[in-house]
Amino acid sequence: MNAAFSAADRASGLLLHVSSLPSAYGIGDLGPAAFAWIDRLAEANQGWWQILPLGPTGYGNSPFEPISSFALNPLLASPEQLVEEGLLAVGDCADQAFLTTHVDYDAVAPFKHDLLRRAWRRFRSGARPDLGAAFDEFCEQQAAWLDDYALFEALKARQGGGGFLEWPADLARRDPGALAAARKELTETVDERRFAQFLLFRQMASLREHARERGVRLIGDLPFFVALDSADLWANQELFLLDAHGRPAFLAGVPPDYFSPLGQLWGTPMHDWQSQGATSYRWWIDRLRSLLAHVDLVRLDHFRAFAAAWHVPAGAMTAETGQWLPGPGASLFRALEESLGRLPLIAEDLGLITDDVRRLRDQFGLPGMRVLQFAFDGDPKNLMLPENYVSNIVAYTGTHDNNTTRGWYEALPADERQYVWSYLQQPAGESDRAAWELIRLAWSSAAALAIVPLQDVLNLDGSARMNVPGNPAGNWRWRCSAEQLSASGFQRLRELTDASARSGAAG
C-alpha cells in the first residue's frame, strides 16, 4: 500500500508552525490559539494544517535539528492548559512580560522550563493524584526513547549545557556503570523531564482530537538528519558513522553549485546504513511511528538522501571534498511498509534530483512537491509550472525556506517580474497582487493537495519570512497576531477553495 494521491483527493491547507501562533507567552503553543487556528482553518474549508518538526530545539532554535526525534518541544507547552489542569496557578504565568512580536528564545526558554518545573513540583506535592497512573503508563510505554532523552537532558543541564562530546568520556560513550550512577544521582531531574513530556503528549493529543472533530488533518515533518548534540546520536551511536573517539567520521552537506561555489556544510552526522539495516531499520520505524501518533501525514525532509547523500570528511573546511554515498533505498521503505502498513508520506524532492531519487519516490507512490516560486525561469518544461503537474503531488506557493511570495516578487529583477505577468496573461501588476495570483495557480492546478504559507494569505512582505537557509541567526522567530487571524483573506481563501473543488481533507 502507498500514500499516492489521486484527482479525487483534491484538498488544500495552510503551512504555519506552532511557534508562529499568537500567544501572551512569547511563543505559539499547543493551547487556545492552536484550537482557534484549527477552527479558522475549518471555517475557511481547509482540510490540512502543515507544521514543522515538533522536537525540542537546540543550537539556532531550528526545528530541523531537534535534540530528540521522539520528544516534543517544551517551549510549545500551553500555560493555560496547565492552569486548567490544576498544575499551575494563574499567578505562575503572570510574572513575565514578552515585549517583542517575534519569538525571543532567550526569554521564552527559561520561562517555559520554569513553568514545567513548577507543574512537576505541584504534582509531586499531591496535586492531581488522578494523573499518577496515566503518568506511570506513559513512562512505561515510551521508555525506549524517554529514559535516554530524560537522562540526556538532565546530564546536559548538569554539564552546563555543553555538547555531549565534551562530557566526561564515560558519560559521552555511555559506560553502563557511569549511566547507572547518573540515573541515581539525577532521579528528580530525570522524572521532571519525563513528566514534561507526559504533559506535552496530552496537550498534543487533545489538539489532534479537536482537529479531527473539525475535519482538519495534520501534516508533520521528519528531518532526515539528527543534530550532532542530540539524544538521538548519544543514545544510538552504533547507528551512525563515527570514528574511534565517538566523533562523526563524516558530516552532511551538499556539493558546490552555481549558488554555492564551496558547497554547503551542515555539520550533522551521517547514518550508518549497514548498521541500521542489520536491525531491520528499527530506529527509523520507531521514529516514524512516534510522529504518526501526533499527525496524519509526514513530509520526509531531504528525500534525495534516501537514495544517496553527500558525505564530507570530518575536519574539512568546506563541502568541496565530499562524495555521494548510497542511502538505504527501497529496503528502508519496504521495512516501513512491513511494520506500519500504508505509508502516509510526502517526499521533499526539491533541488537537484536524479533519476534514482525519482525511481525511489515513484516505486512507493509517494507524492512529490512543486513550488511555484521556482517555476518562472522561462523553461516551458520546468516541472514547477502548473501545466506540468500531475495529481500525485503537493503544490506550494513557497515553503518555510522560501521568502514570502510578496517578498520574493519584490526581489525579482524587472524582466523576471514581467515574465510572471506574461505567464499569467495579465498586464503587469503591483506586488500586492503576486501572492494571491500564485495561490490561485496552486489551487486551480492538477495537484491533489495545495498548501500555502499563512504569510501569503496575509500578503506579507519579506519581513515575515520564517527561515533563510544558510543564515545561522535570526530564523524561526516569525509570529502572527490574533488580529491577522481575523483577516479578510480567509474568506477569500474559502471562496477560492470552493471554486477549485478543494473543500475537505485528502484521503
Catalytic residue numbers? 301, 348, 401
**Phi, psi (rounded to 5 degrees) for 107:** -90, -40
Angle at 468 between CA 381 and CA 322, to 5 degrees: 75
Handedness of CA 393, 442, 213, 137 (dihedral sign): positive
Count of other CB atoms within 10 angstroms of residue 400? 24
Sheet with 48-50: strands ordered across? 345-347, 297-300, 217-222, 48-50, 11-15, 449-453, 393-396, 368-371
Query: Is 98:479 a contact under the CB 8 Å cutoff?
Result: no
- Report the amino acid identity of residue 14: L
Provide the b/e sequence for 197-231 (b: ≥16 CB within 10 Å).
Answer: bbbbbbbbebbbeebeebebbbbbbbbbbbbbbbb
Query: Is 426:434 a contact under the CB 8 Å cutoff?
Result: no
**Phi, psi (rounded to 5 degrees) for 430:** -80, 165
Minimal CA–CA distance to 204: which of 357, 54, 30?
30
Q: Which residue has the cell 494523573?
A: 131
CB under 8 Å to 312, separation ≥6 — which residues? 250, 251, 252, 253, 263, 265, 319, 321, 322
- DSSP 8-state symbol, 285: H
**Phi, psi (rounded to 5 degrees) for 308:** -165, 145
CA neighbours within 13 Å on the CB side: how many for 290? 23
| Whole-angstrom distance, CA of residue 210 vs CA of residue 451 | 21
- Written as nine digits, the cell of 427 is 498586464
State the DSSP H helix or E strand holding residue 177, giving kind and residue range, or none if neither: helix 176-185
User: 165 burial class (0-12, 13-18, 19+ CB within 10 angstroms)?
Assistant: middle
- Written as nine digits, the cell of 62 is 531550528
**Phi, psi (rounded to 5 degrees) for 47:** -95, -10
- DSSP 8-state symbol, 504: B
